[in-house]
Amino acid sequence: MKVATGEEIKRLDKLAVSLGVKEEILMENAGYSVFSFLKEKFGLTKKFLIFAGSGNNGGDAFVVARLLASFNASVTLFTVSDLTNLKESAKKNFELLKNYPVEILEFESVNRVLLSAIRETDVIVDGIFGTGLNRRIEGKIAELIVEINNSGKPVVAIDIPSGISANTGAVLGVAIKATYTITMGLPKRGFFAFPGCDYVGKIIVSHISYPPELTFSKDISVEIKIVEPYPERPTNAHKGLLGKALFISGSSFYTGAPYFNALSFLKSGGGISFLATTENVSRIVSQRSPEIVQIPLKENMQGAIAKENIEKILEFSKNVDIVAIGSGLSVDDDTEQLVLDVVDKVEKPLIIDGDAITIIARHKEVLKKRKFDTVLTPHMGEFSRLTGVSIDEIKKDKFSALFMAMEEIPHTIVLKGEYTLIGSKGNIYINTSGNPVLGTAGSGDVLVGTIASCIVRKANTVEGTILGAYIHGLSGDLLAKEFREGLTAEDILQNIPNAIRYYWMHYKELEGALYEGL
Ligand X SMILES: NC(=O)C1=CN([C@@H]2O[C@H](COP(=O)(O)OP(=O)(O)OC[C@H]3O[C@@H](n4cnc5c(N)ncnc54)[C@H](O)[C@@H]3O)[C@@H](O)[C@H]2O)[C@H](O)CC1
Annotated binding site: 56-60, 126, 130-136, 159, 162, 257, 328, 379, 416-420, 444-445
Toward ligand X, which CB reaches closer, 5 or 56?
56
Question: Are 66 and 89 spatial neighbours (Cβ–Cβ below 8 Å)?
Answer: no
Which residues, 71 to 110, sit near ligand X by CB under 6 A? 81
Sign for the CA dihedral angle at 324, 326, 329, 331 comes to: positive
Cβ at position 215, least distance to ligand X in Å:
14
| Residues in a beta bridge with 78 | 51, 105
Toward K ion, which CB reaches closer, 57 or 165?
57
Toward ligand X, which CB reaches closer, 85 or 337?
85
Cβ at position 514, least distance to ligand X in Å:
20
| Residues in a beta bridge with 29 | none
- Given ligand X, K ion, none, residue 299, with its beta carbon under 5 to 8 Å by kind, binds none
Question: Are 382 and 363 spatial neighbours (Cβ–Cβ below 8 Å)?
Answer: no
DSSP state of 234: P
Toward K ion, which CB reaches closer, 157 or 479?
157
| Residue at shortest CB range from K ion | 162
Cβ at position 160, least distance to K ion in Å:
5
Toward K ion, which CB reaches closer, 80 or 117?
80
Question: Are 211 and 16 spatial neighbours (Cβ–Cβ below 8 Å)?
Answer: yes
Whole-angstrom Cα Rg for the chain: 26
Which residues, 123 to 152, sit near ligand X by CB under 6 A? 129-137
Which residues, 43 to 72, sit near ligand X by CB under 6 A? 53-58, 60
Toward ligand X, which CB reaches closer, 74 or 149?
149
Toward ligand X, which CB reaches closer, 137 or 322?
137
Number of residues that bind ligand X (CB under 6 A): 26
Cα separation, 271 vs 291, whole angstroms: 10
CB within 8 Å of 398: residues ≥ 6 apart: 168, 193, 415, 417, 421
Instruction: List the Cα angle 266/271/275 in 5-degree steps.
Output: 65
Residue 269 interacts with ligand X (CB under 6 A): yes or no? no
Query: Is-cis flag, bond preceding 229, omega within 30?
Result: no
- Given K ion, ligand X, none, residue 252, with its beta carbon under 5 to 8 Å by kind, binds none
CB within 8 Å of 55: residues ≥ 6 apart: 87, 90, 129, 130, 132
Cβ at position 357, least distance to ligand X in Å:
38
Cβ at position 73, least distance to ligand X in Å:
21
Backbone angles phi, psi at 449, to 5 degrees: -65, -35
Binding mask 451-490 vs ligand X (x if CB under 6 A, - otherwise)?
----------------------------------------
- Given K ion, ligand X, none, residue 157, with its beta carbon under 5 to 8 Å by kind, binds K ion
Annotated binding-site residues for K(+) read 57, 126, 162
Sign for the CA dihedral angle at 431, 437, 439, 442 comes to: negative
Residue 159 interacts with ligand X (CB under 6 A): yes or no? yes
Binding mask 350-369 vs ligand X (x if CB under 6 A, - otherwise)?
--------------------
In a 10 Å sphere around its CB, with 0-12 CB exposed, 13-18 middle and 19+ buried, how is residue 163 labelled? Answer: buried
Give the one residue of 21, 27, 52, 222 binding ligand X; rule: CB under 6 A. Answer: 27
Choose among 515, 463, 474: nearest CA to 226: 463
Residue 330 interacts with ligand X (CB under 6 A): yes or no? no
**How many CB atoms lie under 10 A from the CB of residue 246?**
30
Residue 158 interacts with ligand X (CB under 6 A): yes or no? yes
Toward ligand X, which CB reaches closer, 193 or 324?
193
Cβ at position 124, least distance to ligand X in Å:
16
Question: Are 128 and 150 spatial neighbours (Cβ–Cβ below 8 Å)?
Answer: no
Which residues, 279 to 298, sit near ligand X by CB under 6 A? none
- Point out which residues bind K ion (CB under 5 A): 57, 126, 157-158, 162
- Given ligand X, K ion, none, residue 54, with its beta carbon under 5 to 8 Å by kind, binds ligand X
Cα separation, 276 vs 259, whole angstroms: 11
Question: Are 295 and 322 spatial neighbours (Cβ–Cβ below 8 Å)?
Answer: no
- Interface with ligand X by CB under 6 A: which residues? 13, 23, 26-27, 30, 53-58, 60, 81, 129-137, 158-160, 184
